[in-house]
Amino acid sequence: MLQLIHFKNDARQIMRDPIMTMLLFAPLLLLIVFKLLVLLLPPFLNAKFGFDVAPYNPYILSFVLIVNSGMLGIVTGFMMLDERDGKIAELMEITPLGKSGYLVNRLSFTSILSFIYAFTGIYFLNLLELPLFSIALLSLLAAVYTAIMGLLLVTWADDKVKGLTLAKGLNVLVLFAFTDLFSLNWLTCLSWFFPPHWITAMIKSPWHLPGIAAALLVHLGWLSMLIIGYWRRAA
Which region among 116-124, 175-183, 197-205, 220-228 touches other proteins (by CB under 8 A)?
A: 175-183
Contacts of residue 71, Cβ cutoff 8 Å, sequence gap at least 6: 26, 27, 30
Nearest to 41, CA basis, from 30, 28, 51:
51
Which region among 73-81, 105-113, 144-152, 198-206 touches other proteins (by CB under 8 A)?
A: 73-81
Packing angle, helices 57-85 and 98-125, rounded to 10: 150
Judge contact between 93 and 220, C-beta under 8 A.
Answer: no
61 vs 81 by CB, closer to other proteins: 81
Which region among 60-68, 109-117, 153-161, 223-231 touches other proteins (by CB under 8 A)?
A: 153-161
- The least distance separating other proteins from the CB of residue 217, rounded to whole angstroms, comes to 25
Which region among 60-68, 136-144, 177-185, 188-196 touches other proteins (by CB under 8 A)?
A: 177-185
Rounded CA gap, 156 and 177, in Å? Answer: 23
Contacts of residue 43, Cβ cutoff 8 Å, sequence gap at least 6: none
Query: Does the protein bind other proteins through residue 161 (CB under 8 A)?
Result: yes
131 vs 169 by CB, closer to other proteins: 169
- The least distance separating other proteins from the CB of residue 44, rounded to whole angstroms, comes to 8
Distances (CA, A) of 37 to 65, 123, 171, 177, 203: 15, 16, 21, 20, 20
Packing angle, helices 98-125 and 2-16, rounded to 10: 60
Distances (CA, A) of 52 to 8, 63, 175, 226: 47, 18, 21, 40
- Per-residue contact track with other proteins, 99 to 138, x per CB under 8 A? ----------------------------------------
36 vs 213 by CB, closer to other proteins: 36
Q: Indicate which single residue of 61, 81, 127, 141 sits in contact with other proteins (rule: CB under 8 A).
A: 81
| Residues in contact with other proteins by the rule CB under 8 A | 19-20, 22-23, 26, 75, 78-79, 81-82, 85, 159-166, 168-169, 171-172, 175, 181-182, 184, 187
